Structure 1
Amino acid sequence: MMQAMTQLSLLKFNKWLEQTPRANATFDRSYILLAAAMYAIGLIMVMSSSMPVAERLFDNPFHFFIRHSIYIVLSIIIGIAVMQIPMSKWHQYSGPLLLSAIFLLLLVLVVGRTVNGSTRWIVIGPITVQAAEPAKLYFFSYLAAYMVRRRDEVMENFKGFIKPLVVFGVLALLLLLQPDLGTVVVMFVTTFGLLFLAGAKLWQFIGIALTGLSAIAALAYFSPYRWARVTSFLDPWADPFGSGYQLTQSLMAYGRGEVFGQGLGNSIQKLEYLPEAHTDFVMAILAEEMGFVGIAVVLLLSITLVMKALLLGRKALLKEKYFEGFFAYAIGIWFSFQTAVNVGASAGIVPTKGLTMPLISSGGSSMIIMTIAVVVLMRIDHEIRLQSLQATSKGGRKNDK
């Protein structure tokens, strides 16, 4: 009698669980919460860090705040539209997307705007597009599709391993002509991380990785301005008013922040002592105003998003959705490395690379592309859940019969 009542209770509980919205949810809402939290922190810090420079340049202290707000709204609208695109379309059009990335990188060299010696931006009326940002996403889509087509070849022989590196080499060359070594490094690390996860042989991985690292080191050594960045990173205090100026100011911001920070709006370094305070070095201002606690919160949000992307990739591969799995892996590696480089550069751990903090820094192209990447993760999760729900409903109908 007791056993029958227990079984009946379990059946009622399972039936109730199946009827709850959470059990039947067709996408993971935590992605929205993570993105919203990072949007909010970024918006507050962009406003705080940019007010002095915005007042001087545009006679409006809220100029960059308004601009950043518009890009967030635009990112959300584009994200909603991208959410409607099935992953099969991403897979099908991965080749044309790659060609469009190459076209943009060629176009920026011809008609691009040059700022601080770098030609990276295409100006379309009031909108400025940084060609390297969509190039990253489109290349990773192509790379995921290649892994599906040639996974056995990648695992078994050197030819399959080297083919995607040739494509990467073409993109890297176009990026170095801008020049943009930071994006090249991010794409390099993501490519090799994905090849490694796809099952490439360790000796191939180590050999090409050492070759690539040697090439990057040579590019830095034989370029005076890049080498100045490396040497100033190693000892910024040797020339605190020259090549080491930006990093020393950033380190002072970190030092003033201590554990709990000086309070929102109380940064001194943002008073135009620290260049690019609202873009590449927004984390330094966050550290000064919010301290170690503020940095820890942002890193926790970023790590959570990265871990969810990697776990989603693993889940997709187990469901035999290989393109989706490799794409999610690529996005996770991309987010993690770009976050590490941005925070590391502002903290003096790595040389400055001019990379934005995902979903935090000011920068329209970066904000839109990073939002699309999060939406792609949501779409992958949605399709996996939908597949599971359909399988469950089919199984239930069979059992009813």
Structure 2
Amino acid sequence: MAHALAPLQRLKAMLGLGGGADGLPVRLSSRRFDGRQQAPVSELGFDQPLLWVVVALISWGLVMVYSASIALPDNPRFANYAQTHFVLRHGLAIAMGFVAALVAFQFPMRTWERMAPWLFTLALLLLILVLVPFIGKGVNGARRWFSLGIINFQPSELAKLAVLLYAADYMVRKMEVKERFFRAVMPMAIAVGVVGMLLLAEPDMGAFMVIVVIAMGILFLGGVNARMFFLIALVVIAAFALMVMMSEWRRERIFAYLDPWSEEHALGKGYQLSHSLIAFGRGEIFGVGLGGSVEKLHWLPEAHTDFLLAVLGEEFGLVGVLTITVLFFWLTRRIMHIGRQAIALDQVFSGLVAQGVGLWIGFQAFINIGVNLGALPTKGLTLPLMSYGGSAILMNLVALAVVLRVDYENRQLMRGGRA
């Protein structure tokens, strides 16, 4: 019993809640705690503000997917589709995601820890199968999907969650040798490298970038030697630079990003970026109003997926873009706080998982926003929780449900119960 209370006592000591006058004052969010104050633990089972921000992003995304895709049936490529085709499929994916999230929330973090190696193995098998002809579905030269009738499932989205859980479990198991490079880092590097080769074969460099950031972030947060971490970071950057140099179409994307308005690029690799920038320019401060976008009328390709933010910027202006940016920043910060709280309670696996989800959501949102604004080279990454994409929405919601489970168990421990 004394051992079970130790994490709670350490957290109270950190927050200065011991009840004595010697407690150090600290600031947590907007509330100040010191040794003379008691901090009542909320009776709510999980972080409700986080849930409502997620619901707000999903709801706004559903509206924008409808707005961005409503004119697509005018295109001969989508002539057989109804105007509501994409929004209905997106709504179905959201409904499936919420059901999957409710199921995921029921599993204790101990169960997720036991399942981590098996989920990683499953993700590897699916990444192999999707490359097999007549099994994986190819679109625009990429083979990334399984056609499941009502939804196209992308195994790279499952791989993000699987690598995240596996990396957190791996760091917990290797905690005693985390200062030794070959024993602590090399096995994880090999696992991520295998996943990377399979993703590059699809090809899906964007998903590989996200997975590398998740894995490296968890290694760093787990306490891997800082010098070794920065050495790994340099190697990874050099590897990505080499991949760009060796691929002609990737080089063209970089050159188009540097000058999308040139005659050479305006109708080629720079076409999407130039029309994205036109959309933001038309939006100005307050936008042209919901439904008033011109760029979505077959000027901006993939407006309902990778470039949804450009349509949002045209219709809601700078105010809308800043609102989205602030919401994603707040969401990422809140998730990271839940992870730190779990680590303070000696729930290291739970804390690393939550922080890994924060890195995933935050990094992918940062890349998508940067690409839409022309601050980063064009890369096929969707805006989490908002862009059209069934498997992405599904796995985002499952990952966030796991974070809420971490928060739920944190609250149980702070009330003196068991996780």
Q: Give the structure-2-normalised TM-score.
A: 0.87
> Among residues 379, 389, 412, which one is paired with 1:363 in the alignment?
389
Aligned to 1:258: 284
Worse-matched range after superposition: 225-234 or 324-333: 225-234
Give, in whole Å, the separation in 2 of the partners of 1:352 and 1:182: 10
Give, in whole Å, the separation in 1 of the partners of 2:187 and 2:114: 19
Q: Which runs of 5+ in 2 are unaligned?
A: 1-36
1:43 equivalent in alignment to 2:62: yes
Shift of 1:155: 2.6
Instruction: Summarize deviations over 1:5-60 as a string: whole Å, max 9, x none.
Output: xxxxxxxxx99x97xxx831121111220111001110110010111114541342
Aligned to 1:33: 52
Give, in whole Å, the separation in 2 of the partners of 1:220 and 1:52: 35
Give, in whole Å, the separation in 1 of the partners of 2:179 and 2:73: 52
SS in 2 for 1:119: strand
> Among residues 117, 128, 146, which one is paired with 2:141 in the alignment?
117
Give, in whole Å, the separation in 1 of the partners of 2:169 and 2:239: 27
Paired residue type of 2:120: L
8 Å CA contact 2:181, 2:228 repeated in 1: no
8 Å CA contact 1:55, 1:61 repeated in 2: no
Shift of 1:69: 1.1
Q: Which runs of 5+ in 1 are unaligned?
A: 1-13, 393-401
Aligned to 1:396: none
Shift of 1:125: 2.6
Shift of 1:94: 0.6
> Among residues 334, 349, 354, which one is paired with 1:328 in the alignment?
354
Shift of 1:204: 1.0
Shift of 1:157: 3.7
Aligned to 1:397: none
SS in 2 for 1:120: strand
Q: How does 1:1-400 map to 2 (within 5 A)?
A: 23-56=42-75, 57=78, 58-110=80-132, 111-238=135-262, 239-391=265-417
Shift of 1:355: 0.8
Paired residue type of 1:175: L
8 Å CA contact 2:338, 2:354 repeated in 1: yes
Q: Give the structure-1-normalised TM-score.
A: 0.90
Counterparts in 2 of 1:234 and 1:86: CA distance versus 1, 3 Å:
same
Give, in whole Å, the separation in 2 of the partners of 1:55 and 1:388: 57
Counting matched residue pairs gives 375
Paired residue type of 1:233: Y
8 Å CA contact 2:277, 2:374 repeated in 1: yes
Among the aligned pairs, what percent are the same residue?
Answer: 38
Give, in whole Å, the separation in 2 of the partners of 1:180 and 1:95: 23
SS in 1 for 2:293: coil
